[in-house]
Amino acid sequence: MNAVNDSFLPAGETAVIRLITAGSVDDGKSTLIGRLLYDSKSVFADQLDAIARAKYKRVAGDGIDFALLTDGLEAEREQGITIDVAYRYFATPRRKFIVADAPGHEQYTRNMVTGASTADVAIILIDATRAADGRLLPQTKRHSTIARLLGIRHIVVAVNKMDLVAWDRAVFDRIRDAYADLAARIGIPDFQALPLSALNGDNVVTPSAHTPWYEGPPLLSLLESLDPAVEAADAPLRYPVQWVVRHDGSSAQDFRGYAGRVASGTLRAGDEILVQPSGVGARVVGIRAHDRELASASAGDSVIVVLDRDVDVSRGDVLSHAGAAVRTGKEFDAEVCWLDTQPLNTARRYLLKQGTRLTTAKVREVATRRDIHELREIDGDVGTLAMNDIGKVRIVTRDPLTLDRYDDIAATGAFILIDESTHQTAAAGMLR
């Protein structure tokens, strides 16, 4: 008998999908991920033995508390909640998955934003017992709105704990219809919904006999069928410079290169480039990785770029292809999710970090704030944003930035605001 788990065999060109679980507290996010790991045979025996002996186990008898597979912090196990984002990896013969378990508490929304920023798929869990009448909880609405703002391509609505409502199809239909209304109001073009029980494993990896009325696939099969992210190599070139490499500065044959990671597009030796935001031009004469010379580098590659002439390039500058239109400027509109406990103060100065660029900025105006309960934007003299508020603002920076729409190039379309005094992340923002 072959005891090898096929999901751990080399997957060749198998696509990687990043997913995040989201939703309100106690909707079963950690339990669902634990069940996925367990049923896909991605948990080792010693891990199961450890959680079986855990003093914070919340399942009676010999049952497995799947949430303990992701809730690793002492405070998380003690309180029975998720606080920080936990990342887990598992694979099937068709896909590789990197899954982020996000906290549901409103207090830890900033951690959910962090995990969602790189996700291809958002699994929005909804507790069927708490939404049986079709009324969605505020965190379900907030997390769904954040997923839409971040441009997550696939939304899967997992109606959990269906076993506690006797697998009532009418309950599932009410929740699905309520989410369809939410999706239409916040701009989610499409989503897929399925009934399941994360604790018992119904419709997680294998179909459930309790839902003959559900004609779709179980969750894992659905995830395997989703298309991976669009290749960033096909987007316009953006190469944020991290640092300048200098060797033998006293020599006439000294070396000068520019180290960084290609954020989008493809860079080739011989390409004519522009340094943004100055607009100075040069030609690429070499691309190096460690001790190798490369003909090209694509999105995700960390390389050193050598130019044909000495130009003023420093950390924070962005290389783009000559001839391609690039917008730069010191003033722009953006959508932000305010993450700090201290409200936004338009009279204060904040640090703004975009890629490798760090500058100072002020929020000149708060144009709108989204009411997460009514799902409408409040216009007029909003004044400020409080913790977990989502709004549209106008920002002015000290230094010019490369300004790309977040939907086009996420690397240069996203930024964070940092409190100068506490160095806490105050907000996450996206250019629109």
Cα separations (Å) of 23 from 1, 105, 160, 330? 42, 9, 11, 36
Nearest to 78 by CA among 56, 57, 59, 108: 56
d(CA 304, CA 293): 10
The residue among 415 and 14 whose pLDDT is bigger is: 415
In tens, the pLDDT along 343-390 reads: 999 999 999 999 999 999 999 999 998 877 666 778 766 789 998 888
The neighbour count for residue 421, using CB atoms within 10 Å, is 8
Residue 140 CB-half CA count within 13 A: 27
Range in 16-25, 67-76, 116-125 the model is least confident about:
67-76
In tens, the pLDDT along 59-111 reads: 544 555 555 555 443 434 344 444 456 778 888 888 888 888 777 666 667 77
Nearest to 87 by CA among 73, 70, 74: 70
What is the residue-wise DSSP string for 258-304? EEEE--BSEEETT-EEEEETTTEEEEEEEEEETTEEESEEETT-EEE
In tens, the pLDDT along 243-268 reads: 999 876 566 667 889 999 999 999 99
**3-state SS, one letter per residue, for 97-127:** EEEEECCCCHHHHHHHHHHHCCCCEEEEEEE
End-to-end CA distance of the chain: 56
Q: What is the pTM of this model?
A: 0.77
The neighbour count for residue 40, using CB atoms within 10 Å, is 17
Angle between the N-to-C axes of helices 138-149 and 169-186, in degrees from 0 to 180, rounded to the nearest 10: 50
Can 17-226 and 328-431 be said to share one CATH topology?
Answer: no
Q: Tell me whether the omega of the peptide bond preceding residue 189 falls within 30 degrees of 0, making it cis.
A: no
> Which two tokens mark 19?
């997913």
Nearest to 216 by CA among 233, 198, 194: 194
Which homologous superfamily is 328-431 in? Translation factors (2.40.30.10)
- The CATH architecture annotation of domain 233-321 reads Beta Barrel (2.40)
Whole-number pLDDT of residue 108: 66
Residue 406: pLDDT over 70: yes
Average pLDDT, the chain: 83
Residue 316: pLDDT over 70: yes
Q: Find tokens 């050193």 and name the residue.
A: 304
Share of the chain above pLDDT 90, in %: 52
Run of H or E residues at 333:
strand 328-338
Rg over CA atoms, the chain: 24
| Four-residue CA torsion sign, 184, 185, 188, 189 | positive
CATH of domain 17-226: 3.40.50.300
- For the chain, give every domain's residue range: 17-226, 233-321, 328-431
In tens, the pLDDT along 321-352 reads: 998 889 999 999 999 989 898 999 999 999 99
DSSP state of 171: H
Are 29 and 23 spatial neighbours (Cβ–Cβ below 8 Å)?
yes
Q: DSSP 3-state assignment of 236? A: coil
What is the residue-wise DSSP string for 181-215? HHHHHHT----EEEE-BTTTTBTTTB--TT-TT--
Range in 18-27, 138-147, 166-175, 255-264 the model is least confident about:
18-27
Residue 107 neighbours by CB under 8 Å, 6+ apart = none
**φ, ψ for residue 341, nearest 5 deg:** -70, -25
Cα separations (Å) of 1 from 4, 40, 268? 9, 19, 50
Are 420 and 351 spatial neighbours (Cβ–Cβ below 8 Å)?
yes
In tens, the pLDDT along 192-220 reads: 999 999 888 899 999 999 999 999 999 99
pLDDT band at 50 (very low <50, low <70, confident <90, very high): low
Enumerate the H helices of 265-422 as residue ranges.
Answer: 410-413
pLDDT band at 3 (very low <50, low <70, confident <90, very high): very low
Whole-number pLDDT of residue 417: 96
Whole-number pLDDT of residue 107: 67
Whole-number pLDDT of residue 82: 44
